[in-house]
Structure 1
């Protein structure tokens, strides 16, 4: 049991270190030797857990995807309405990208053209946004003439833009930035009667974050 716990801690440290390295240096420039030093483990320990840098990047993406799934699941359960759940999910996701190295790296790896990837995390976000808007349409929340597909495109483009800009300027990922975004979008997509009950800020202050969230490296 102790050995298994130690192995789990080592693996976790390597994923965290890799996430920080991939975000700061890019996938190509980040070396396995530097990642093992950052994690405080030997190169042998790294290769015991991960056979290649690609395998390590995949582990980062998998962990980010799992955290993303928790965000959207909680938003769907506790958002109240589909539109409020979508607003809340946007806030929590941008907060995690700002504060959590693994989530940040998961999205950064989606746009890294130096390695083959299918941008699965961004694709999952697009599908979830479209599903949330479809549920909002079925609930009668969307304004007349609003196209789910077109609004999905606008929201995904805007949030991916915040994520990319936030990689160098953190204010783009702030609560205020996301609230302003929804302040612009909500009146254009929601029925007037829905607006009074819709919070463009997070409706649940202190929304849960990943327990492993770490401060952004300076």
Structure 2
């Protein structure tokens, strides 16, 4: 393993350890000593990559943003009708939250940060929901009188609420929770010819490995982190 490979792995281990500490203890109570110990590295190794705790938290948010962006993009560009893709992507986000502590911690840090935070981790999700509902309207998939903005507000409120509730009980992210939500919503928003064929439990995307959504963003993160690590090693 090259020196650069070790540096990338150390950085990723520190981000994951920080996410675990932020999720368990909150930003204020988490310490750099606990973060470095959780990653199995020295305090000096941590400070090689991050100047302070704020920089570690920012890296956690960045990693979470990349993962969420990837899932949202897949929902926008997938196959099938827009309403089914909207159902599918909510299930994929829930699976990602269940599997990836970095995404959970990143969302929590972002939500609890002071006003004026430059990064908004939920912006991509809002855009994904609104775009899919607009596409559904153009495709005649919505019931008469259903307005995409109002429907989007309901979906966003429900999914954000589930994410917040899941901070204390991950059972809220289980498939039945979202399936129940869509069982209630789809008959109200879907055009009659679609209501009976849409699957509120979501479709498994291409029968892929269920852990793929977690691993792919981590691989992307490693690639994006290579450039700054290379500069640091000079």
Provide the TM-score with structure 1 as the length reference. 0.91
Give the deviation of 1:191 after TM superposition: 0.6
Measured after TM superposition, the shift of residue 76 of structure 1 is: 2.7
Supply the distance in 2 between the matched residues of 1:40 and 1:26 (Cα, whole angstroms): 20
How far did 1:75 drift? 2.3
Report matched runs for 1:92-171 at 5 Å: 92-113=92-113, 117-118=117-118, 120-171=120-171
| Root-mean-square deviation (Å) | 2.0
Contact 1:79 1:203 in 2 (8 A): no
Structure 1: which 5+ runs fail to align?
Answer: none
TM-superposed CA distance for 1:74, in Å, is: 2.0
> For 1:111 and 1:65, how far apart are their aligned partners in 2?
13
Bigger mean CA offset, 116-125 vs 160-169: 116-125
Match of 1:75 in 2: 75
**Residue number in structure 1 paired with 2:214:** 210
Runs of 4+, deviation exceeding 6 Å = none
Distance change >3 Å, CA 114–CA 120, structure 1 → 2: closer
Q: Which residue of 2 is the match for residue 6 of structure 1?
A: 6
For residue 33 of structure 1, what is the aligned residue in structure 2? 33
Alignment of 1:56-67 (within 5 A): 56-67=56-67
Q: TM-score, normalised by structure 2?
A: 0.85
Is the Cα contact below 8 Å between 1:183 and 1:200 reproduced in 2? yes
Residue correspondences, number: 214
CA distance in 1 between counterparts of 2:158 and 2:79 reads: 21
Question: Is residue 28–residue 114 contact of structure 1 (8 Å, CA) maintained in 2?
Answer: no
